[in-house]
């Protein structure tokens, strides 16, 4: 059924810390690696070694600049993937029922054997979370690594989405937003977790933790705070080397 559940028992999702993300794309690569070899059709690349490579990815990292009046510009790396919305328009527009939201944990999934590849779900998603796979002709999207988080065959510490597991900076957190005591709920409450495009009325589950305000560095026009410590220091040497140095300088 492509009607949405009234409510879900759990609300699994990600809290993504924009203050921490360094834009290394490790999550993109690990996502592609895991999801190309596990649940569903592989994430294909077209013309991978040619002039115009294009491929399916479930996670993309943008880099933005934020500049406010009188302050230095700030760089923010911004991972973009499915937000597993509570009011997911991608589910209700689907004509076949291939696109659905799970009652038990709120994960939005595509049943690929029912997907006709009409693309309407991608049209309805404000976040660009869905991409048609050009080899299989079916819609691909983040599964929240459903084949990792419930997988009894892998070690406990690996039972989280591939992007979270691999992030070297610890910018990505996985948990249940329905539980106020969960890591992600606490983080989001503490840091003012943001919804993306709330005006679209999708009620996303994932939260983005805003960059912390940068400390104002008092400068007298010279932004390089380390400069005083790096000024060349005259080496004072005595003895023969010092005499030789002076003698050679004099020639």
Partner 1 sequence: MHPAPSVILFTSLSGLGFGLLLFLGLGVLDVSGWVAFAFCFVAFGLSVGGLMASTFHLGNPQRAMKAFKQWRSSWLSREGVAAVAALTVMGAYCAAWIFLNMRIAALGFLGALLCLATVFCTAMIYAQLKTIPRWNQAMTPVMFLSFMFAGGALLSAQLSLAAVLLAITTIVQLLHWMLGDRRFGEAGSDIGTATGLGGLGKVRLLESPHSGTNYLLSEFCHTVGRKHAQKLRGIGIVAIGVVPVALLTFAPHSHATAAIAVLSHLIGLLSTRWLFFAEAEHVVGLYYDKHRHAA
Phi/psi at 49 (5° precision): -110, 15
Q: Is residue 199 near partner 1 by the rule CB under 8 A?
A: yes
Q: Is residue 1 near partner 1 by the rule CB under 8 A?
A: yes
Q: Is residue 52 near partner 1 by the rule CB under 8 A?
A: yes
Helix (H, G, I), strand (E, B) or coil at 17: strand
Could you tell me which of 149, 42, 172, 163 has the C-alpha nearest to residue 102? 149
Q: Please state, in angstroms and as integers, the Cα–Cα distance from residue 21 to each residue in 45, 71, 78, 132, 208, following that order.
A: 26, 21, 7, 27, 11
Helix (H, G, I), strand (E, B) or coil at 228: helix
Which residues does residue 140 pair with via DSSP β-bridges, in sequence order? 131
Q: Is residue 56 near partner 1 by the rule CB under 8 A?
A: yes
* Binding-site size, partner 1 (CB under 8 A): 69
Shortest distance, position 156 Cβ to partner 1, whole Å: 32
Q: Which residues contact 133 (CB under 8 A, 6 or more apart)?
A: 41, 42, 43, 44, 56, 139, 140
Site for partner 1 in 115-144 (CB under 8 A): 115-120, 122-128, 131-134, 136-139
Smaller CB distance to partner 1: residue 80 or 165?
80
Q: Is residue 71 near partner 1 by the rule CB under 8 A?
A: yes
Smaller CB distance to partner 1: residue 59 or 143?
59
Q: Is residue 94 near partner 1 by the rule CB under 8 A?
A: yes
Q: Is residue 212 near partner 1 by the rule CB under 8 A?
A: no
Smaller CB distance to partner 1: residue 62 or 244?
62
Q: Is residue 198 near partner 1 by the rule CB under 8 A?
A: yes
Length of the chain: 251
Q: Is residue 66 near partner 1 by the rule CB under 8 A?
A: yes
Shortest distance, position 193 Cβ to partner 1, whole Å: 9
Q: Which residues contact 177 (CB under 8 A, 6 or more apart)?
A: 11, 12, 13, 184, 185, 188, 205, 207
Q: Which residues bind partner 1 (CB under 8 A)?
A: 1-3, 18, 23, 28, 52-57, 60-69, 71, 74-76, 78, 80, 89, 92-98, 114-120, 122-128, 131-134, 136-139, 194-201, 208, 210-211
């Amino acid at each position: 059924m492509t009607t949405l559940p009234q409510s879900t028992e759990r609300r699994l999702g990600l809290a993504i810390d924009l203050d921490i993300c360094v834009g290394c794309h490790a999550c993109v690569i690990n996502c592609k690696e895991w999801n190309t070899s596990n649940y569903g059709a592989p994430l294909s690349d077209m013309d991978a070694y040619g002039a115009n490579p294009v491929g399916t990815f479930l996670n993309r990292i943008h880099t933005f600049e934020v500049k406010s009046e009188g302050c230095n510009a700030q760089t923010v790396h911004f991972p973009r993937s499915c937000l597993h919305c509570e009011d997911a328009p991608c589910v209700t527009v689907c004509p076949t029922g291939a696109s659905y939201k799970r009652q038990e944990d709120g994960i939005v999934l595509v049943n690929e054997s029912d997907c006709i590849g009409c693309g309407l779900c991608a049209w309805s998603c404000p976040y660009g979370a869905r991409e048609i796979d050009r080899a299989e002709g079916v819609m691909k999207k983040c599964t929240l690594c459903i084949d990792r988080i419930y997988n009894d065959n892998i070690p406990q510490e690996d039972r989280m989405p591939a992007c979270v597991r691999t992030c070297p900076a610890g910018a990505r957190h996985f948990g249940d937003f329905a539980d106020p005591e969960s890591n992600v709920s606490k983080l989001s409450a503490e840091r003012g977790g943001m919804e993306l495009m709330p005006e679209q009325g999708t009620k996303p589950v994932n939260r983005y933790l805003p960059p912390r305000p940068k400390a104002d560095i008092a400068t007298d026009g010279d932004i390089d705070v380390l400069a005083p410590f790096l000024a060349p220091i005259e080496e004072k040497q005595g003895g023969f080397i010092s005499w030789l140095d002076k003698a050679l300088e004099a020639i």
